[in-house]
Amino acid sequence: MDLNANQTFGLVCAHHHLYSSLARGMPSPDKIPKSFGDILNLVWWKLDRALDLETIEWSAKLGALEALERGTTCIIDHHESPNAIEGSLSIIQNACHELGVRVNTCYGITDRNSNDFSTNMAMTEEARRGLEENRRFLQEGGEGMVGIHAAFTCTDETLNTAAQLAVDMDVGVHVHVAEGDLDAISWKRLQQHAADDWILVHGVLLPDNHQLRGTIVHNPRSNMNNGVGYAKPTRFENLVGLGTDGIGADMLEEFRIGYARLREFNVEESPETVWNMLDVNTSLFPECRKDKVTWSYEEMDPWHLAFTSGIRPVDIEIDGKPIMKSGEFLDIDSAEIRAKAGEAADKLFNKMKELV
Ligand SMILES: [Zn+2]
């Protein structure tokens, strides 16, 4: 990944939720979440229902800005906004491209908002609309995958149809897998579908012999934050990349957290193990090799970086175009984006207060 001692390719976040960039400061849930299910129900599934196309746009711009500020030029995004599905992926792509950030996005298909949801029922209208958004975006030339939220919120028909769409469109599927107790068993329904170009996010509760093909993306901080357990990523035969699960796109910070958690698990481990995950990210988004980041630190080496915080990009070039010079953006008005994102966040929070 290194070009020179103080230069790398653009960093890649292998699992992000740009829609959550406005979440900081959101209204507290009515009660303290006590489980993974509570965290989803009381926090994230309320936030995503409150999103409209305007808040999606500013959330994506803020997320893209914060990615660039940490030297991340490529984002693999997973999106969900059940009350603003149609057109959402194009808005995210355009918002990122406006800042020069490369993005691969998808709509996380789900049946979960149906009152009588069960896995053996017919595909719901919600899932059909999500599927169509993936299809529309890909057919129009958008860079993406087919998204599935997770097996435990999808009917069998939805999983079958989504997997077939990915085959038809010649892309992989980007899906949460065995993140927490709610998905401890349901992920097995993906075994018959998963292929090498799939992105399998989390894998915390996967057994060693899970037989799922694809790249596993490890999200150490998110897993700790949700109390779902340690994925022990070194046990997998699959390639393993590194994501943030929507908590920014600071990949050097995620690397440090991932390393600290790995050492807690096995004190004989090396920073190179987690650094290799960033190399896997590079293979997931190879265009990052056309981007150059010059850093404020002289030794972009895992043994240095594991113990050095506060490193920032000084110069960024994306596809040969200078984006940042001497620590300053050239054409991006970061204050304007932050102000507009702040207004959008107020609107989003008011909408969340109206939702039951
Ligand atoms: Zn996620």
The reply to whether the predicted model has a pTM over 0.95 is yes
Instruction: Give the whole-angstrom CA distance, residue 219 versus residue 15.
Output: 8
- Per the listing, tokens 């298909």 go with 109
Sheet order of strands, 11-16 included: 11-16, 72-77, 102-104
Domain boundaries, the chain: 2-354
Distance 198 CA to ligand 1 centre (A): 14
Coil, strand or helix: which one is 182?
helix
- The residue written with tokens 């995958």 in the block is 145
Calpha distance 26→351 (Å, rounded): 11
Q: How many Å lie between the centroid of ligand 1 and the Cα of residue 171?
A: 19
Q: Residue 42 and residue 32: Cα distance in Å, rounded?
A: 9
Burial of 1 (0-12, 13-18, 19+ CB in 10 A): middle
**Helix H or strand E segment including 341:** helix 334-354
Grouping H, G, I as helix, E, B as strand and the rest as coil, residue 154 is coil
| Structure-token pair, residue 206 | 């996967």
pLDDT tens per residue across all 356 residues of the chain = 666 789 999 999 999 999 999 999 998 888 999 999 989 888 889 999 999 999 999 999 999 999 999 999 999 999 999 999 999 999 999 999 999 999 999 999 999 988 888 888 999 999 999 999 999 999 999 999 999 999 999 999 999 999 999 999 999 999 999 999 999 999 999 999 999 999 999 999 999 999 999 999 999 999 999 999 999 999 999 999 999 999 999 999 999 999 999 999 999 999 999 999 999 999 999 999 999 999 999 999 999 999 999 999 999 999 999 999 999 999 999 999 999 999 999 999 999 999 87
Q: How far is CA 147 from the centre of its chain?
A: 11
Distance 237 CA to ligand 1 centre (A): 22
Q: Radius of gyration over alpha carbons of the chain, in Å? A: 19
Cα of 327 from ligand 1 centre, angstroms: 30
What is the longest distance spanned by two Cα atoms in the chain?
A: 57
Dist. CA 286–CA 289, nearest whole Å: 6
The owner of tokens 């975006």 is 137
Residue 300 DSSP SS3: coil
Domain 2-354 has CATH 1.10.10.10: no
Q: How far is the CA of 234 from the centre of ligand 1 (A)?
A: 20
Token pair for 27: 């209204």
Taking the centre of ligand 1 as the mean of its atom positions, its distance from the CA of residue 296, in whole angstroms, is 30
For ligand 1, the distance from its centroid to the CA atom of residue 223, given in whole angstroms, is 10
48 CA distance to ligand 1 centroid (A)? 12
Distance (angstroms) between ligand 1 centre and the Cα of 265 equals 23
* Tokens 């981007």 found at: 291
